[in-house]
Structure 1
Amino acid sequence: MQYVRVTGTRGGALHRELSGRQVGMIALGGAIGTGLFLGSGLAISLAGPAVVVAYLVAALVALALAYALAEMIVVHPEAGGFGAVAQRYLGPLAGFVQRWMYWAAVAVNLGSEVVAAGLYVRFWWPQLPLWLPVVVFSVVMLGINALAVRFFGEFEYWFAMIKVAAIVVFVLLGLTYVVVGLPSRPAVGFGGLVEHGGFAPNGLGSVWLALTVVTFSYLGTEAVAVAAAETRDPARSVPRAARGMVVRLLLFYVLATLIVVTIVPWQQAAGADGVEQSPFVTLFALAGVPAAAGIMNFVVLTAALSAMNTNLYVSSRMAHSLALDGFAPKWVGRVSPSGSPRNALALSAGGLAVAALVSVVSPQQAFPIMLGLALFGALVTWLLIFASHLAFRRARAGQPRPAVRLPGAPVTTVLAMAFVLAVLVTTAFTEQFDTAWKAGLPFTALLVVLYYAVRRRSSPAATGHRVEVDPQ
């Protein structure tokens, strides 16, 4: 059966109402989660102070991804973002597998985020049953996403702004403490980087193992591509968001982690568990900030809700774009008069409910497998994004250059792709992430089988774009 693409209607059902500042915060909200605030203990336990190098290397790869995406999305600001681009340049099988795998990965993360948010609320009210805040936050976030996209964008802007402000304050306080000192606290200097067993106390191999954890921290950088179809001026906003990621990722991950392992012995930071042990709380308390633990708990709560908000958004848009291409039921592609794909949102809510239920009922058995699936799916998504960029460059050879380009490509693209592949292979030998292959390979095989089953049952017209507006 020949694949048919109807390009004229792609993205037409979604309203272009996101501003440039909102797109920038959506990108940032997707890339920065609660792990940074709670110390990234696992990565630090593996690499010690050398975890800073791991964060720097992974940041460069994430930036390559951001620029590759911006280059492609400026030319193709379509519903489905990188999934639509993969389908255009790598074929419908790649587009099908990538989008459904990414949707599943995001659905799992949604479940972990809403449960984490519920646990943060119990910091103040320990007697509260966990299911209550989980249900309340789920309903609230679904309600925000069901509104017109400009309302989602505004909510996400302020959610992300809270954690950005917290990181900026932490970095400024930390630098002051390290170089100048705080009231009644002399400057500590940078000796902490080498005074506790050396800069890389567990050897260079441990730095590579830490990269499996650190790379997971940057997953979400790709969210900016999904927002392009609803951006007022994607040719201007998407490149600006990609460039903004350069400074922000270096500042928020690399510099913040450097301060953590400088002011807190790495063994202590590695053992930190919970809000009260967060290096952020330690520094705020040293600076005399009243109720530092309570303030930090509020910040990590908003960080979890921000990540949940963004992931609901990208998962619903992925499902919506699959329906446009005939790879999901037609009803998933319908949108409300305000341009919100509410049926796709309902589908994502089902995944949220399952993931949240599993995380509560069977956290020791089933949930690690689901998290392994999320990691595998996210890394495969990155691989296919870089593969799409190589095909994109080849197909557009000799054509006018986009407003933003990945420097050094295609060499940069190949190197970044090799790095992601190496990290994916390494997960099979990492105790914390070995479930990635156990869950990921069977799920990939299942998706391939489903693709051929769907393709056989679909007519050529069914693989084009159908836009249906729900009259309700």
Structure 2
Amino acid sequence: MAQQELKRDLANRHVQLIAIGGTIGTGLFLGSGKAIQQAGPSIMFTYLIVGIAVFFVMRALGELLLSKAGYQSFTDIAEDYLGPRAAFITGWTYWFCWIMTAMADVIAVGVYVQYWFDIPQWVPAIVCLIILLGLNLLTVKSFGELEFWFALIKVVTILALIGTGIVLLVMGFKTDAGAVTVKNLWEHGGVFPNGVSGFLFSFQMVVFAYVGVELVGVSAAETSNPEKNIPSAINKIPLRILFFYVGALFVLLCINPWTELSPAESPFVKTFALVGIPIAAGIINFVVLTSAASACNSGMFSTSRILYNLSRNDQASPRFAKLNKNHVPGNSLFISTLVISVGALLSKLIPEQAFGIVTTVSAICFIWVWGVVLVCHIKYKKTRPELQAKSKFKAPFTPFINYAVLTLFAAILIIMLFASETRPALLFTPLWFILLFVLYSGRSRREKSGKNSIIQS
């Protein structure tokens, strides 16, 4: 019986907006407030540095994905270049970190809805999951359409912020916090007001802000023209980083001195409130709500597809490879959604620490996944020179840039060890990798024992 295949039903506009949605999320709308308090105006450099690193990861991933028609995700790539153990650990780790991220986002959905309605937090969280599950079960095109509109809302909001900021700068507008001026970038303690340590400690939240950018790679199996759409989406990442992250933060910090921004609230809400828009809080709350729903939607999509691929590669139950009539991995989608719903329980058990722990674990796991992509690309260049020679989408500055980015990722993990807020999660995360190693070893022994029994019989 032939294996069921995912349907290539994502158009170019879907892939482009998935890429944009992947680079604009809760890390910018929410996490930037905390990151700004740590780094001050130097946060723009943090976003720029991590953004450049992620771009080179994506170029490596893009070249690898297009080097072989059978690749459907980087788990396939990991198995090809690093072996089945690495594929098993990377695949389940990617599933795990997106589960953790989606948990945080579905919790956030409940919190944002409470802004308008006095109802228990878990109710809108569960309703959101049910709606997203229903839409994702229909067709992959439904996911693409949903992400298209979610991403559009984010883009419009940032465009409005940047446009408003430029007008205010030209006008010399004054808010309650003072004049809108570029001087706000250095007149309140300098560009590095908290020193080098504050700048370094901001890297964790910035890494989390870029979580999801690799979705353009996960969606490769379901895009109608990967040879055209994947390079197009990846090559536009630098412009999006400069515009949506660095540009938005530049405007925010010109309108507000960084000292006026609180880590407990969205700097976007604060900015629109300062410029005198009465319904600013409600507008931004809606945007952040859609951003959280978008991230949760992306989490459901990616976890179901990674579980589907793990099953196809005999690294998960064969049930997860079963597609419904719409060519969607329904069983994988159901189980992923069920696990994500545990997020509501986490928010009840550890409400103060839940978001911080979850985002840190997610960032660490994504560093692993991105690192695996870079290592695979290094091996690809060394062991498959014939494929590399034929590549129409060669990653630039390799292998030097691969080693440079891997060094940066290692440095970020070391920095997390010295920060009290991220240290517990960093020390906990290795337990996940130990668990996967034990599970894989046990699975391998059982398979070997089964083969020996067949031979002896």
> Which TM-score applies when normalising by structure 1?
0.89
Rounded to whole Å, the distance in 1 between the matches of 2:276 and 2:347 is: 37
Deviates more, 1:180-189 or 1:161-170: 180-189
Answer yes or no: is the 8 Å Cα contact 1:149–1:340 preserved in 2. Answer: yes
Does 2:9 correspond to 1:17?
Answer: yes
Answer yes or no: is the 8 Å Cα contact 2:26–2:209 preserved in 1. Answer: no
Q: Give the corresponding residue for 1:243.
A: 235
Does 2:93 correspond to 1:101?
Answer: yes
Identity of aligned residues (%): 35
Rounded to whole Å, the distance in 2 between the matches of 1:223 and 1:199 is: 33
Q: Give the corresponding residue for 1:409.
A: 398
- 1:318-366 CA-to-partner distances (Å, cap 9, x unmatched) read 1110000111011011111211001011121122022331123333466
Does 2:147 correspond to 1:137?
Answer: no
1:424 shift after superposition = 1.6
Structure richer in helix, relative to its length: 2
Q: Give the corresponding residue for 2:309.
A: 321
Cα distance change of structure 1 residues 184 and 46 upon mapping to structure 2, 3 Å threshold: closer
Rounded to whole Å, the distance in 1 between the matches of 2:110 and 2:374 is: 36
Deviates more, 1:205-214 or 1:295-304: 205-214
Does 2:341 correspond to 1:353?
Answer: yes
Q: Give the corresponding residue for 1:257.
A: 249
Rounded to whole Å, the distance in 1 between the matches of 2:371 and 2:383 is: 18
Deviates more, 1:337-346 or 1:350-359: 350-359
Rounded to whole Å, the distance in 2 between the matches of 1:80 and 1:333 is: 13
1:396 shift after superposition = 2.4
- 1:269-328 CA-to-partner distances (Å, cap 9, x unmatched) read 2x2423xxx332343345554411111111111111111111110111111100001110
Q: Give the corresponding residue for 1:330.
A: 318
Q: Give the corresponding residue for 2:143.
A: 152
Task: State the one-letter code of the partner of 1:294.
Answer: G
Q: Give the corresponding residue for 1:114.
A: 106
Q: Give the corresponding residue for 1:469.
A: none
Rounded to whole Å, the distance in 1 between the matches of 2:199 and 2:274 is: 30
Rounded to whole Å, the distance in 1 between the matches of 2:82 and 2:432 is: 20
Cα distance change of structure 1 residues 145 and 124 upon mapping to structure 2, 3 Å threshold: same
Cα distance change of structure 1 residues 265 and 187 upon mapping to structure 2, 3 Å threshold: closer
Answer yes or no: is the 8 Å Cα contact 2:256–2:271 preserved in 1. Answer: no
Answer yes or no: is the 8 Å Cα contact 1:326–1:458 preserved in 2. Answer: no
Rounded to whole Å, the distance in 2 between the matches of 1:76 and 1:211 is: 34
2:214 to 222, 225, 228: 222
Q: Give the corresponding residue for 2:455.
A: none
Rounded to whole Å, the distance in 1 between the matches of 2:168 and 2:152 is: 24
Flag structure 1 segments of 5+ consecutive residues without an equivalent. 1-7, 463-472
Rounded to whole Å, the distance in 1 between the matches of 2:69 and 2:277 is: 45
Rounded to whole Å, the distance in 1 between the matches of 2:168 and 2:188 is: 19
Deviates more, 1:113-122 or 1:360-369: 360-369
1:428 match: secondary structure: helix
Rounded to whole Å, the distance in 2 between the matches of 1:461 and 1:62 is: 42
Answer yes or no: is the 8 Å Cα contact 2:27–2:210 preserved in 1. Answer: no
Q: Give the corresponding residue for 1:291.
A: 279
Q: Give the corresponding residue for 1:5.
A: none
2:56 match: secondary structure: helix
Answer yes or no: is the 8 Å Cα contact 1:358–1:367 preserved in 2. Answer: no
Cα distance change of structure 1 residues 383 and 15 upon mapping to structure 2, 3 Å threshold: same
Task: State the one-letter code of the partner of 2:163.
Answer: L
Cα distance change of structure 1 residues 80 and 101 upon mapping to structure 2, 3 Å threshold: farther
| Root-mean-square deviation (Å) | 2.4
Answer yes or no: is the 8 Å Cα contact 1:382–1:420 preserved in 2. Answer: no
1:80 shift after superposition = 4.6
Cα distance change of structure 1 residues 181 and 361 upon mapping to structure 2, 3 Å threshold: same
Rounded to whole Å, the distance in 2 between the matches of 1:78 and 1:201 is: 50
Task: State the one-letter code of the partner of 1:273.
Answer: A
Answer yes or no: is the 8 Å Cα contact 1:327–1:454 preserved in 2. Answer: no
Cα distance change of structure 1 residues 460 and 248 upon mapping to structure 2, 3 Å threshold: farther
Cα distance change of structure 1 residues 425 and 172 upon mapping to structure 2, 3 Å threshold: same
Does 2:312 correspond to 1:308?
Answer: no
Cα distance change of structure 1 residues 237 and 414 upon mapping to structure 2, 3 Å threshold: same
Answer yes or no: is the 8 Å Cα contact 2:175–2:275 preserved in 1. Answer: no
Rounded to whole Å, the distance in 2 between the matches of 1:124 and 1:79 is: 45
- 1:227-281 CA-to-partner distances (Å, cap 9, x unmatched) read 0001100111111110121211111111111222222111222x2423xxx3323
1:369 shift after superposition = 4.6
Answer yes or no: is the 8 Å Cα contact 1:80–1:317 preserved in 2. Answer: no
Task: State the one-letter code of the partner of 2:106.
Answer: V
Answer yes or no: is the 8 Å Cα contact 1:372–1:440 preserved in 2. Answer: no
Task: State the one-letter code of the partner of 2:16.
Answer: G
> Which TM-score applies when normalising by structure 2?
0.92
Cα distance change of structure 1 residues 137 and 178 upon mapping to structure 2, 3 Å threshold: same
Q: Give the corresponding residue for 1:273.
A: 264
Equivalences for residues 320-469 of structure 1 within 5 A: 320-364=308-352, 369-399=357-387, 400-458=389-447
Q: Give the corresponding residue for 1:169.
A: 160
2:64 to 58, 72, 88: 72
- 1:410-445 CA-to-partner distances (Å, cap 9, x unmatched) read 111111111111112221111221123222111101
Cα distance change of structure 1 residues 79 and 146 upon mapping to structure 2, 3 Å threshold: farther
Task: State the one-letter code of the partner of 1:82.
Answer: F
